[in-house]
Amino acid sequence: MNWIVMPRPSLLRVALMLGVLVVLGGCSKPVKLVPAAGVLTIGGKPAGGIVIQFLPQAVEGEKRPTSYATSGDDGSFALTTYDGKPGAVEGPHAVVLADTLEERPAQGQRATRPPRLDSRFTTIAGGLTATVTDGGGAITIAVPAPAP
């Protein structure tokens, strides 16, 4: 039986490789999150049960997390990142909405009530934006009611 003998890496070589990994892994700038909360209205009325997603404008060299919230019955919301950290990054954001209470009838069936949210606001192409600022106060998201 032939055995292949592999040389064992020296402790110095392992330490150098780990050092390189730590340096390379730490190259991205940490992103500052700021408190971000506000109120959502549809057609001038507070709207609960709406998922609000804030997608930050891209900045080269930065990983900028998306933040989200679900509005309460009074339309209020407080953003958190998907890994559970409170707040959002400063700057401009595209805003996307989704109605958790939207009726979704089976194929071929008619909805029994009209949607509360205009479908254009459910994609990034809808053009809804908001700016998050440190100490900037409450964010107001006011969208018109959908056309009948």
119-148: pLDDT as tens digits: 999 999 999 999 999 887 899 999 999 987
Which pLDDT belongs to residue 11?
43
Which pLDDT belongs to residue 4?
54
The answer, yes or no, to whether residue 25 has pLDDT greater than 70, is no
The pLDDT mean for the chain works out to 84
The residue among 117, 131, 95 whose CA lies nearest residue 43 is: 117
142 HSE (CA, 13 A, CB side): 5
| Confidence band for 104, pLDDT divided at 50, 70 and 90 | confident
Residues ≥6 apart with Cβ < 8 Å to 119: 146
Which pLDDT belongs to residue 23?
41
The answer, yes or no, to whether residue 50 has pLDDT greater than 50, is yes
Break the chain into its structural domains and give their ranges: 33-100+114-143
Which architecture, in CATH terms, is 33-100+114-143? Sandwich (2.60)
Number of helical (H) and strand (E) elements in the chain, helices listed first: 1, 11
- Per the CB < 8 A criterion, the answer to whether 118 and 143 are in contact is yes
